[in-house]
Structure 1
Amino acid sequence: MVGNARSIEKKATYWGVPWEEAYGYAQAVLVGNDIYVSGQLSHDSSGNLVAPAALDAGGRPRDFSMMEAQMRVTYENLSAILARFGATLDNVVEETLYVLDVDAAFAAAGTVRKEAYGTERPQCASNLIGVSRLAMAPQLIEIACKAVLRPAAAA
């Protein structure tokens, strides 16, 4: 802790993947009724990227055909992290999708987001932001969000 600031109670959760230790961060943090979820990606339980994009000679994705597959697994991972705090995608109030190709992501998101949230109009604020690079070369998408739990009933 820096300085003499009043501390807050935080509960963190991790996947146990190598990059958590290397970078030094939690996958999600619960503070009160708020859950802050770090950028999730399409990896399996061992930390292997699912549906990695094919790379060109320079190590950059050469096509974005795996966007939908990566997006599906990313939402599955997001749901699994939220479940650790007793939440679902219904608790999400804001999400940000960081993508390498906005057109490919926008095309996939219409179907994938509606399926993930189980509704034609997910009730969360959503941002779709094009970026030049993500943490892993074959990665096409990363999703971060904020979710809110229902306050505990008064005793």
Structure 2
Amino acid sequence: MAATQPFNDKTAYWDVPWEASYGYPQARKVGNEICISGQFNHDEDGNLVAPALLDSDGKPSDFSSMGEQMRCAYDNIAKLLALYGATLEDVVEETLYVLDMDAAFAVVGNVRKAAYGNERPQCASNIIGVSRLAQRAQLIEIVCKAVIGARND
């Protein structure tokens, strides 16, 4: 399933189970601003891409898939933005929530530059270490805000 706008052109969904159980859209447009809910390493069917290996307590034990998970999250953001005629170039602020700061810093520069297609992506960026994310095998989640037309400013 692809990202869709089943209720109106202001909100977007993946139609994955956690949207209904938590009760939220993946994106919401107000005026020329688009707020993107936390995106992570899932495909369009809700299956995790490059899930982290878990230890016996159900906690990630290997952070080597951080880059692949990050690329997937940026791909999901790009697909949602496209529903509104926007691109990653319209993103003005992002926050990355990561389980391991060292693993994130090892890949974030190259992954961000590739995703934005720019050596110096033109958006404010925050990176925050957290102890847990929604899916146990998830290492990163990215939230962002875009302004349609920002790429031309």
TM-score (norm 2): 0.91
Q: Find the structure with the greater CA-based Rg.
A: 1
By how many angstroms is 1:45 displaced?
Answer: 1.2
Q: Provide closer, same or farther for how the CA distance between residues 85 and 10 of structure 1 changes in structure 2, counting only shifts above 3 A.
A: closer
- In the alignment of these two chains, the number of paired residues is 143
Q: Letter of the 1:16 partner, please give it.
A: D
**Structure-2 residue corresponding to 1:96:** 95
The answer for unaligned runs of 5 or more in structure 1 is: 1-8
String of CA shifts for 1:52-92, please: whole Å, max 9, x gaps.
00000000000100101100111101100110111000000
Specify the SS of the correspondent of 1:137. coil
State yes or no: 1:74 paired with 2:73.
Answer: yes
Identity %: 65
By how many angstroms is 1:10 displaced?
Answer: 7.8
TM-score (norm 1): 0.90
1 CA distance for matches of 2:26 and 2:52? 23
By how many angstroms is 1:150 displaced?
Answer: 2.6
What value does the CA root-mean-square deviation take over the aligned residues? 1.4
String of CA shifts for 1:14-68, please: whole Å, max 9, x gaps.
0000000000000000000000000001111110110000000000000100101
- Post-superposition, which runs of at least 4 consecutive aligned residues in structure 1 deviate over 2 A? none
CA contact (8 A) 1:10 1:31 kept: no
Q: Letter of the 2:121 partner, please give it.
A: P
Q: Letter of the 1:123 partner, please give it.
A: Q
**Structure-2 residue corresponding to 1:48:** 47
**Structure-2 residue corresponding to 1:121:** 120
